[in-house]
Amino acid sequence: MANTLKISEAVINKLSTINFTYSGCLHGIFYKNSLLVLGLHVETDEKDEIINSLPTEVDICGVIDINSEENNVKVDDILRKVDITDNPIYISFNSSLENSISAYFIVNDQLKSANFEIVKQANIYSEFVHVRLRASLPIYTELNIDAIKEAFLTLRKQFTSGQVAFNFQKSKVYLVGHDLENRLIGLSGDPTVGELCDESYVTNEGQINQRKRKSGQNIQQQVIEVYMFKKSTRDFPVEGTTLHAPVVHVDKKTFQSLQLWVEVDALSMVHVDSKVVNLYDIIVESSCRNLRLQQNAFFKFFTDCIEEQGKISNLKIYHFYPESCGHFVTKAYPKNFADIDLEEERSLLHKQLLLPVNRPIFRKSNVFLFRSDIQIGGPLINPHEGLIHTGNENEVVIVRGKYLYYHYCQNKMDDNGWGCAYRSLQTLASWFLLQGYTCRPVPTFDEIQKCLVDIGDKSNSFIGSKQWIGSTEVTFVLNSLLGITSKIIYVSSGEELATKGPDLINHFKTQGTPIMIGGGVLAHTILGVDYNRKTGDIQFLVLDPHYTGPEDVEIIQKKGWCGWKGMNFWDKGSYYNMCLPQAPTCI
pLDDT tens column, 291-307: 999 999 999 999 888 87
Report d(CA 100, CA 7) in Å as an integer.
Answer: 14
In 181-277, which ranges are continuous DSSP H helix?
193-199
Which residue would you say has higher pLDDT here, 253 or 48? 253
Task: Identify whether residues 344 and 483 lie together within a single domain.
Answer: no
Contacts for 368 with CB less than 8 Å, ≥ 6 apart: 319, 320, 321, 328
135, 263, 283, 123 alpha-carbon torsion, rounded to 10° = 110
Q: Is the pLDDT of residue 326 over 80?
A: yes
pLDDT for residue 249: 86
Domain-ending residue, one of 366, 387, 418: 366
Confirm whether 238 is domain-assigned.
Answer: no
> Cα Rg for the chain, rounded, in angstroms?
27
What CA–CA distances, in Å, run from 351 to 15, 40, 365, 401, 507? 14, 11, 20, 21, 27
Q: How confident is the model at residue 179 (pLDDT cuts 50, 70, 90)?
A: low
Rounded CA-CA distance 68/441 in Å is 47
What whole-number distance in Å separates Cα of residue 64 and Cα of residue 313? 39
Which of 100, 119, 138 represents a domain boundary (last residue)?
Answer: 119
- Mean pLDDT over 47-73 rounds to 79
Q: Answer yes or no: is pLDDT of 201 > 50.
A: no
- The reply to whether 179 belongs to the active site is no
Q: Inter-axis angle of helices 420-434 and 445-454, to 10 degrees?
A: 90
Question: To the nearest 10°, the Cα dihedral for 377, 378, 379, 384?
Answer: -60
Would you say 58 and 28 are in contact if contact means Cβ atoms under 8 Å apart? yes
pLDDT tops 60 at residue 580: yes
d(CA 485, CA 495): 27
CA distance linking residue 173 with residue 396, whole number of Å: 46
- More confident site: 148 or 197: 148
The least confident of 91-95, 178-182, 399-403 is 178-182
- Across the beta sheet with 128-142, the strand order is 184-185, 174-175, 164-168, 223-230, 128-142, 257-271
Whether residues 174 and 301 fall in one domain: yes
pLDDT at 96 over 50: yes
User: Are residue 201 and residue 315 in the same domain, yes or no?
Assistant: yes
In a domain, 372, yes or no: no
SS3 call for 364: helix
Nearest alpha-carbon partner for 493 in 567, 571, 565:
571
Give the residue among 220, 223, 269 at the shortest CA–CA distance from 59: 269
- Is 350 catalytic? The answer is no
Question: Over 50: is that where the pLDDT of 402 sits?
Answer: yes
Lowest mean pLDDT among 104-108, 241-245, 421-425, 516-520: 241-245
CB distance 324 to 10 below 8 Å? yes
Residue 380 domain-assigned? no
The pLDDT assigned to 156 comes to 95
- Is 395 exposed, middle or buried, given 0-12, 13-18 or 19+ CB atoms closer than 10 A? middle
Dist. CA 161–CA 359, nearest whole Å: 43
Single pTM value for the model:
0.89
User: What amino acid is encoded at 331 in this protein?
Assistant: K
Which residues are bridge partners to 101 per DSSP? 93
Instruction: Assign 72 a pLDDT band (cuts: 50, 70, 90).
Output: low
27 carries an active-site annotation: no
Do 436 and 465 belong together in one domain?
yes
* DSSP assignment of 165-189: EEEETTSS-EE--TTSS--EES--S
Would you say residue 526 has pLDDT above 80?
yes
31 falls within a domain: yes
pLDDT higher than 80, residue 311: yes
Note whether 167 and 103 are same-domain residues: no
Catalytic residue among 507, 544, 562, 579: 544
Nearest Cα to 515, choosing from 415, 431, 439, 391?
Answer: 431
- pLDDT score recorded for residue 79: 64
Q: Are 221 and 150 found together in one domain?
A: yes
Q: Considering only 68-72, 123-127, 214-218, 329-333, which range has the smallest mean pLDDT?
A: 214-218
Q: pLDDT confidence of 469, banded at 50, 70, 90?
A: very high
In the listed set 74, 101, 119, which residue is the last one of a domain according to the structure?
119
pLDDT band at 199 (very low <50, low <70, confident <90, very high): low
Looking at the chain, the whole-number percentage of residues with pLDDT higher than 90 is: 63
CATH number at residue 490: 3.90.70.130
Considering the domain boundaries, does residue 244 fall inside one?
A: no
Residue 228 within a domain: yes
Lowest-pLDDT range of 30-44, 152-166, 421-435: 30-44
Q: Are residues 416 and 360 both part of a single domain?
A: no
Residue 33: domain span: 4-119
104/58 same-domain check: yes
pLDDT at 75 over 60: no
DSSP tag of 215: T
pLDDT-derived band at 310, boundaries 50, 70, 90: confident
Q: What is the pLDDT of residue 33?
A: 86
Q: What pLDDT is recorded for position 46?
A: 52
Q: pLDDT value at position 100?
A: 84
Shared domain check, 167 and 106:
no
Does the pLDDT at position 22 exceed 70?
Answer: yes
Bridge partners for 491 per DSSP? 576
Q: How far apart, in whole angstroms, are the C-alpha atoms of residue 495 and residue 506?
A: 20
Return the pLDDT at 213. Answer: 32
- How far apart are alpha carbons 430 and 412 in whole angstroms? 19
3-state SS class at 502: helix
State the CB neighbour count (10 A cutoff) for residue 127: 15
Longest dimension (CA), the chain: 95
The alpha carbon dihedral of 439, 445, 450, 453 has a sign of positive
Q: What is the pLDDT of residue 401?
A: 92
Considering its fold, how many domains does the chain have in total?
A: 3
> What single string gives the DSSP state of each residue in 8-20?
EHHHHHHHTT--S
CATH of the domain at 47: 3.40.140.10
Q: Which of 424, 503, 407 has its CA nearest to residue 470?
A: 424
Contacts of 43 (CB under 8 A, 6+ apart): 24, 25
Judged by DSSP in three states, 205 sits in: coil
Q: Do 171 and 279 reside in the same domain of the chain?
A: yes
Q: What is the 3-state secondary structure (H, E, C) of 54-123?
A: CCECCEEEEEEEECCCCCCCCHHHHHHHCCCCCCCEEEEECCCCCCCEEEEEEECCEEEECCEEEECHHH
Confidence check: pLDDT of 48 > 60: no
Catalytic entry in 61, 197, 325, 420: 420
Q: Where does 435-558 have alpha helices with state H?
A: 445-454, 471-482, 501-510, 553-558
Residue 455 lies in a domain: yes
Backbone torsion region of residue 54, taken as left when φ is above 0, otherwise alpha when ψ lies between -120 and 50, otherwise beta: beta
Residue 458 pLDDT greater than 50, yes or no: yes
- Of residues 214 and 461, the one with the higher pLDDT is 461
Residue 378 pLDDT > 80, yes or no? yes
**Catalytic pick among 305, 389, 537, 546:** 546
403 and 419 in one domain? Answer: yes
Neighbours of 174 (CB within 10 A): 17
Mean pLDDT value across residues 520-536: 92
Same domain, 346 and 298: yes
Work out the average pLDDT over 98-110: 84
Asked if residue 240 belongs to a domain, the reply is no
